[in-house]
Amino acid sequence: MFKGAHEARAFATRIRHLPERASGVDVVVCPPFVSLQATLQGLGEGGLVRVYAQSVHWELDGAFTGEVSAPMLLELGVKGAIVGHSERRQLFGETDETVRRRAEAALEAGLAVIACVGETDAERERGETEAVLARQVAAVPRHERLVIAYEPVWAIGTGRTATPEMAQDAHAFVKSLHAAPVLYGGSVKPENARVLLGQPDVDGALVGGASLDPVSFEAICLAGAEAAAA
């Protein structure tokens, strides 16, 4: 919940040519609903940076106050949506079932989807990481426009980051269950992006706080370009 329309437009203007400098990297930004249109305006017509929403409802319309549907997003020019982010699961009651419904509706409507999975600190301590990931991944549909993001909940906004080996192990496990590309999310920043993105089964990053500054975000994208070229 950062960047209203004015800030989002200025941010988008600064990064509109970023894909030209980060060759081989797909660049996506996911602003709040109220800033989607301003972000699209800042990126300009035919921009290479794609805009996704932070969530999407499973119904086309109806009595669902506070929600936004896939057709509404598509009408704006939005290309995709995140579903099941750990904060949505932890703070707003998102479940595997609602994640499935949101993902299926978005994909059917023509949006791309980033579906998030990941274990809590307590679940990792109990040795339940693979069981949790298996349950969450099983709820995610299979589709060419779907990407999975592994975001260990204990690493979100805490400054703690999975070691490259931990990230690689989790990504390899997710890929054994699902054919989608898998992003790593969890305190990704310029200082650790290169080694994380260099892991064989890490296909990209779902960047949180470090994406709020365009210089930091560009550094991460450039690290992704280096990893893609290696």
The full DSSP string for 162-195 is: --HHHHHHHHHHHHHH--S-EEE-SS--HHHHHH
Task: Give the Cα separation of 17 and 43 in Å (integer).
Answer: 9
Q: Which class for 74: exposed (0-12), middle (13-18), buried (19 or more C-beta within 10 A)?
A: middle
Check if 85 is active-site: yes
What is the distance between the alpha carbons of residues 117 and 132, in angstroms, rounded to a whole number? 9
**Residue in 85, 104, 119, 178 annotated catalytic:** 85
CB burial of 14-25 (b: ≥16 within 10 Å; e: otherwise) equals ebbebbeebeeb
From 94, 151, 171, 218, the catalytic residue: 151
Q: Which tokens hold the place of 139?
A: 């709820």
Q: What is the DSSP letter of 153?
A: G
- Which residues are annotated as catalytic? 85, 151
